[in-house]
Amino acid sequence: MRSTRKALHRPDDLIAAGLVSRERRAGIEAVAARYALALTDDVAGLIDPADPHDPIARQFVPDPAELNVSPEETADPIGDGAHSPVEGIVHRYPDRVLLKPVHVCAVYCRFCFRREVVGHGRALSREQLDAALDYIRTHREIWEVILTGGDPLVLSARRLGEIVNALGAIEHVKIIRVHTRMPVVDPGRITPALVRSLKARGKATYVVLHANHARELTPPARTACARLVDAGIPMLSQTVLLRGVNDEAAVLGELMRALIESRIKPYYLHHGDLAPGTAHWRTGIEHGQALLRVLRGRFSGLCQPAYVLDIPGGYGKSPIGPNYLTRVEGLNGAARYDVEDFNGRRHAYPPPR
């Protein structure tokens, strides 16, 4: 594992880069003592130190509020552990599994739902990876394997290619999906060799990019994404709804348009998980639903992600977006509905004669 760019790992690195004042050192050190800290040069260059509400800094620069743990928050907020039959595997849904070959990222999002386990320099051993692949081989219901972690693209092209080729040799695995932040946080890492390593003969590979603000889609980031798409790898996106980052309709819509312009289809808008010390990022569900209503009426259908909640305890994702349809009683028991248009007006369906 290596990074193609210098990373900032210590509070003093943030101070030296001019991202935070010396007066904030003690508070940041307290957070960094508990949770992993890393920013790439690419991310640091996006931060405006003069803006106390900078949306990029809010995602990556430690905040003492992270040490305030709410009663409802847990170390494993989406229940990975309850569905992990072997190390590195999470088998929550019947036809797909997560494969987590590494717990390291190039950057550490301050709101990460796996913040209690990522950043400790740990990758699966050869024996553990073999056991994880054996699990996939022996469970023929597994149609899709999702590489996550950590960020799997911190692995070398050679190591990544070994894993992808091993999955490609499993007949019943048809889809390989890769979840990553790398194209936006270290776009130089998306080399032709790394792109080739993601493809297995006879399998479909998808890359899902985690991006939360349009400023993350810099020209180098768009070039990195284009390298993947031009190689025949479709891209989707996932975004976390974050207070002070993207919880305004105009900001969220700008991000979705930037993704579509980059040939990346918005896939998920995640409601914030109940990870320890993340309450100051979470919005109310009703606020998220209101944002989706504005997006539906004002932005292209291509720009519409599914708003989802990962149910605490490991019960999976459920869509929690706004509902536009209400069943009403019709004459003689016939089904009739009241449906809302994008302007908030209600209409009978079927329309009355």
Catalytic (active site) residue 317:
yes
Q: Is 310 among the catalytic positions?
A: yes
Catalytic residue among 105, 115, 181, 215: 105
Which of 24, 25, 34, 96 is catalytic? The answer is 96
Kindly report the backbone phi and psi dihedral angles of residue 301, in degrees, each rounded to the nearest multiple of 5, phi listed first. Answer: -60, -25
Residue 105 falls in the annotated catalytic set: yes
Catalytic residue (choose from 100, 114, 181, 282): 114
Residue 345 annotated among the catalytic residues of the structure: no
Catalytic residue (choose from 35, 76, 108, 109): 109
Query: Among 112, 135, 181, 282, which one carries the catalytic annotation?
Result: 112
Of 92, 100, 222, 282, catalytic? 92
**What whole-number distance in Å separates Cα of residue 11 and Cα of residue 31?**
10
**Annotated active-site residue in 25, 263, 317, 336:** 317
Enumerate residues 6+ apart whose C-beta is below 8 A from 85: 91, 135
| Paired residues of 17 in beta bridges | none
63, 93, 137, 243: which is the annotated catalytic residue? Answer: 93
**Catalytic-residue membership of 225:** no
- Dist CA 147 CA 159 (whole Å): 13
Q: What is the distance between the alpha carbons of residues 218 and 269, in angstroms, rounded to a whole number? A: 21
Q: Which of 100, 115, 273, 303 is catalytic?
A: 273
Cβ contact 263:233 at 8 Å: no
Residue 254 contacts by C-beta under 8 Å, 6 or more apart in sequence? 214
Nearest CA to 155 among 184, 112, 189?
189
Residues with active-site annotation: 92-93, 96, 105, 109, 112, 114, 273, 310, 317
